[in-house]
Amino acid sequence: MKKQSGFTLIEMMIVVAVFAVMAAIAIPAFMTLLPGMRLNGATRQVAGDLMAASMKAVKLNQKTKVFFNGSGPGYEIWNDAGNDGTVANNEGDDVARSIWPDYHDVTFSSTNDPIFSPRGTATNLPTITLGNNDGGCKEVTVSIAGRVKIAECAGGS
């Protein structure tokens, strides 16, 4: 008589049922984490673009400005292509960025539009506040030395 090896149909159904129960417990818990993850991602994107603007100013030896268009999902990065010491709107390489393709529930507001010098330092120092519908809040600040920093909002969550 030949010995059979493998799983029976009953054993496979039990394993699938256990996985289904585990998924039913884990998915709602994971879904509550998503808004915070999107807020963190959007904050890192804005901070990364500010650092890239600073590096662009050094690389091109031209002033570079990041223009935040009020409150919303978008901002633009311009450089002083005319080498006249000022960065006019839509001057140089106009790089338009938006956080909404990847982070649809995050909005932001900025207190100013930073300008980075060819030395990497900054003027018009902003505080960019990002938030979502779940009450999450992060701030991105730029120091006079051009350092970009991410922090929790002063008020809480």
N- to C-terminal Cα separation, the chain: 68
Residues 27, 151: Cα–Cα separation, whole Å: 29
| Number of domains comprising the chain | 1
Per-residue pLDDT tens over the stretch 65-97: 999 986 568 999 999 988 888 888 777 888 899
Does 143 map to a domain? yes
pLDDT tens-digit readout, 33-69: 889 999 999 999 999 999 999 999 999 999 999 999 8
pLDDT of residue 16: 96
Confirm whether 27 is domain-assigned: no
What pLDDT sits at residue 72? 66
DSSP designation for 39: H
pLDDT tens-digit map of 113-150: 999 999 989 999 999 999 998 888 999 999 999 999 99
Q: How confident is the model at residue 156 (pLDDT cuts 50, 70, 90)?
A: low
Which structural domain range is residue 117 located in? 34-152
| CATH code at position 139 | 3.55.40.10
* DSSP 3-state percent helix, strand, coil across the chain (nearest 5): 35, 25, 40
6 assigned to some structural domain: no
Domain membership flag for residue 16: no
The torsion angles phi and psi of 150, rounded to 5 degrees, stand at -105, 135
User: What residue ranges in the chain does DSSP mark as E strands?
Assistant: 64-68, 74-79, 95-98, 106-110, 115-116, 122-123, 127-132, 137-142, 148-152
How far lies 60's CA from each of 47, 52, 56, 65, in Å?
Answer: 20, 12, 6, 13
Does residue 15 sit within a domain? no
Q: Classify residue 18: in a domain, yes or no.
A: no
- pTM for this predicted structure: 0.81
In a domain, residue 19? The reply is: no
Residue 29 counted as domain residue? no
